[in-house]
Amino acid sequence: MKVQRAGLLLPVFAALLFGLPARGTALDFNDHEPDIPSHAAALVARMSDEEALAQTFMLGWVGAVPSPLILDWIRDRHIGGVKIFGWNTEDTTKLAETVGALQREALRGPLGIPLLVATDQEGGWIRHVKGATSETPGNMAIGASGRPMDAYWSGYYIGRELAILGINMNFAPAVDVYTNQDSVIIGPRSFGSDPTQVGILGAAFMKGQHAAGIIATAKHYPGHGDTDLDSHGVLPQINASFEQLWERELLPYRLLTKEGLKAVMSGHLAFPHTQAGLVPASLSSWFLQDLLRDKIGFEGLIITDDLMMNGATMSAGSLSQAAKEALLAGNDIIMLSKTPRLYDPIWTRLVEAMREEPFFRDRVRDAARRIVALKLSSLRGEKTAPWIPDLRQVALGLPDSEGAAFFLNLAARSVTAVKGMRQGPDGVFPLRAEAAGKVLLAGQYEDFFTIGKLAYPGAMGYWYDPEGGTELVRYAKDADTIIFCLSHAEGLPFLQSLRPLGKRVIVLSVLNPVHLDKASWVDGALAVYSYARESFVAGFSVILGRLPAEGTLPVPVLP
C-alpha cells in the first residue's frame, strides 16, 4: 500500500505509523481506527535509545531558510520537532517552503515520523509568524468582549492560517491570570484577571485551534501573571501559596484539562511557598508529575519553555543539566530556541545518561511514547495541517478573508469606554469632527495616524519618542483636542505634560489599559487591546459615535 500526502508517497511511514505488523501486508489506513497507544509503544520499541531521545528535542534555528545544522539534526538525529520564531517568518511563502523541506527530511528517516512544527501565534501582541498572516485584536480584546465564541473563532482562524503553512502546533492559548498590573511580559496576552473567565475563554480558544487541525498548548504553567519579571532574563519568584495557586493560576489548567487539552508549556517560574521551593516549575517533579499529572489529571504532552532562557539555566547551572532535570521532572519535550552542535553536551550528556541510568532511560522512552501517540492522533486525517504545505494555498489563503471580517467585528465588540461616554455635561463621546475643532494626534503607530486622519480630516500628527526630547506641548497649544495613543508606561510623562494646558484630551489606550489608572484627569478614555489596524478603526469609530462601546474592562482600572 502507498499513502499519498501532499504529493509525497510514504509507503514506509504508512507501514510503520498506521498500524502494520513488523513484516506483512500493509493495512489500509481507512480500514479501521488503529490502537494508538499500542502502535506508539511498538514504534518506540523499534527505536534505539538515541532515536527515542531525539524525539524529545524541539529546536529552533536562525534565518529565513533552514540552516545546515538544523537539517543535520533532522537527518542524522531524527529529532521530533522544530520551533518557528519571528526571525524565521517575514516571508510566509519562504516559510512554507522551509516547513516542507524540513518535513521531507524527517519523513526520509528510518521510521518516517513527521515533525511537530510549533510556533507562538497567540494573537494580538505575540505573533511570531508574520508576513501575510492576520494581525488580530488579541486575548485581552476577547476578555473585553467576554464571549466564548470570540475566543473559539480567534483560535480557529489563527489556526487555519497556521495549518496552511504546515504548522501543526501552536504555543497558545496563554492562560496566565493577569494578577500583577506591573507585568511587562504578560499584559494584553492575558484574557484578564478573573481565573474562571480565563479558563472558559482559554478552553474555547483551544477548541477553535483543534477544529482547525492545530495542537493547542496552554502556557505558561503554572502561571506567569503574578510577576513583573521576565523569565527570559531571571527566575521570577511568585509568593503564592498552594491554596492561592489552586484557585487562581491553576484553575484554567483544571478547566482545559477536562476539555481535552493536548499540550502544556512549563514555565521557568519559582514558587517558594510551595513544596517546589526555589526550583523552577519547569524542572520540578512536584509541579509536573504530582500536581499537573496526578492531581489535575493531565495526560497530554508537557513541553518546556525555551531552555536557553536564564530562568532555567540559572537554576540548573548549565544547559545540559537543565535539559536532564527537565526530562526527569516530567517534561516530554525540551525546547531550544537555537540549534546546538550535534555533539554539544546537551546531546552527549543525555545519551550517556540513557546508557547508565535506567530510570532516566525509562523516562525518556515514556516521553517518546507520548510524543508519537500525539502525532498518531493529531497529525493524520483531512482535518490536520498538511505535512508538506501547498504553496498555491499559501498564496490564496493568507490572510484568511473570513478571519479578516471576524477580527474586525471582534475589535469593534471589544472597544471599552473607560471615561467620557456622554451621560451628562462632562461627556465627551461621541465627538464629531465638526465639534472637535483643531485636532492633534499624538502616538507611535502609523495606523493610528492613518485612521485618525480619516476620522478627523486636517488633523495634525505628532510621533512622540520616549527615548528623546519632545515638542509635544508646543504643538498641543495650537490644538483644541488632543487624541493621545497610550500603549506603554513610557508614554505617561508625555501625556502628563498636556495636563496644564487645559485642552480637551482623549486617550485611546492600546495593548494594556492599566496605565489609564494614572490618567484619570483626561476628558475621555477608550481602550482597545492591540495595535492592529482593525483596533484603530474600531476605536475611532466609537470616538465618532459610529459604534457603541460594548466592551468591559477585563482588568481593574480606575476611571
> Look-up: residue for cell 526530562?
327
User: Does a structural domain hold residue 517?
Assistant: yes
Domain check: are 483 and 509 in the same one?
yes
Strand-pairing partners, residue 304, are: 266
Domain check: are 66 and 151 in the same one?
yes
User: Does a structural domain hold residue 556?
Assistant: no
- Assign 3-class secondary structure to 312-328: HHHHHCCHHHHHHHHHH
Residue 235's pLDDT is 85
Domain check: are 380 and 489 in the same one?
no
In angstroms, the CA 96 to CA 44 distance is 29
Domain check: are 57 and 134 in the same one?
yes
Domain check: are 462 and 357 in the same one?
no
At 331 the three-state DSSP class reads coil
Strand-pairing partners, residue 277, are: 271
CATH number at residue 351: 3.20.20.300
User: Does a structural domain hold residue 408?
Assistant: no
Q: Is the peptide bond before 148 cis (omega within 30 degrees of 0)?
A: no
Could you give the residue ranges of the DSSP H alpha helices within 456-532?
A: 472-476, 492-496
Domain check: are 427 and 384 in the same one?
no
Choose the final residue of a domain: 377, 401, 425: 401
User: Does a structural domain hold residue 70?
Assistant: yes
- Cα angle value 505/508/514 (rounded, 5°): 105
- Assign 3-class secondary structure to 91-120: CHHHHHHHHHHHHHHHHCCCCCCCCEEEEC
Residue 465's pLDDT is 84
Q: Which residues of 321-330 are buried (b: 16+ CB within 10 A; e: fewer)?
A: bbbbbbbbbb
Cell of 29: 489506513
CATH number at residue 464: 3.40.50.1700
What is the tally of helices (H) and strands (E) in the chain?
22, 18
User: Does a structural domain hold residue 554?
Assistant: no
Domain check: are 295 and 352 in the same one?
yes
Q: Is the four-CA dihedral 12, 18, 23, 28 of positive or negative sign?
A: negative
Domain check: are 159 and 307 in the same one?
yes
Q: What is each CA distance from 219 to 198, 212, 264, 265, 418, in whole angstroms?
A: 12, 19, 6, 5, 29
Domain check: are 372 and 422 in the same one?
no
User: Does a structural domain hold residue 410?
Assistant: no
In the DSSP assignment, the letter for residue 21 is -
Query: What's the average pLDDT block by block, 10 residues per block, for the chain (559 residues)?
Result: 37 38 30 73 94 98 92 97 92 95 94 96 95 96 98 98 98 95 87 98 98 98 81 80 96 98 96 95 97 98 92 75 97 96 96 97 98 95 92 95 97 95 75 96 97 97 79 94 95 95 96 93 96 97 96 86
Q: What is the per-residue DSSP string for 163-228?
A: HHTT--EE---B------TT-SSSGGGSS-S-HHHHHHHHHHHHHHHHHTT-EEEEEEET--TT-S
C-beta atoms surrounding 469 within 10 Å = 7
Domain tally, the chain: 2
Q: What is each CA distance from 226 to 11, 40, 112, 265, 459, in whole angstroms?
A: 50, 39, 43, 17, 41
Choose the final residue of a domain: 401, 424, 455: 401
For residue 305, indicate whether it is catalytic. yes
Choose the final residue of a domain: 366, 401, 436: 401
Show the domain range for 291.
35-401
C-beta atoms surrounding 2 within 10 Å = 10
Cell of 293: 499529572
Give the residue from 327, 496, 509 showing the smallest Cα distance to 420. 509
Q: What is the per-residue DSSP string for 111-160?
A: S-PPPEEEE-EEETTEESS-TTSPP---HHHHHHHT-HHHHHHHHHHHHH
Q: What is the per-residue DSSP string for 48-67?
A: -HHHHHHHTEEE--SSSS--
User: Does a structural domain hold residue 73?
Assistant: yes
The one catalytic residue among 232, 290, 390, 488 = 232
The one catalytic residue among 150, 194, 305, 306 = 305
In angstroms, the CA 364 to CA 282 distance is 16
- Burial bucket for residue 211 (CB in 10 Å: 0-12, 13-18, 19+): middle
In the DSSP assignment, the letter for residue 489 is G
Identify whether the C-beta of residue 488 lies closer than 8 Å to the C-beta of residue 445.
Answer: no
Domain check: are 337 and 460 in the same one?
no
User: Does a structural domain hold residue 156?
Assistant: yes
Domain check: are 250 and 368 in the same one?
yes
Domain check: are 207 and 68 in the same one?
yes
Cell of 51: 532515536
At 378 the three-state DSSP class reads helix
Residue 435's pLDDT is 94
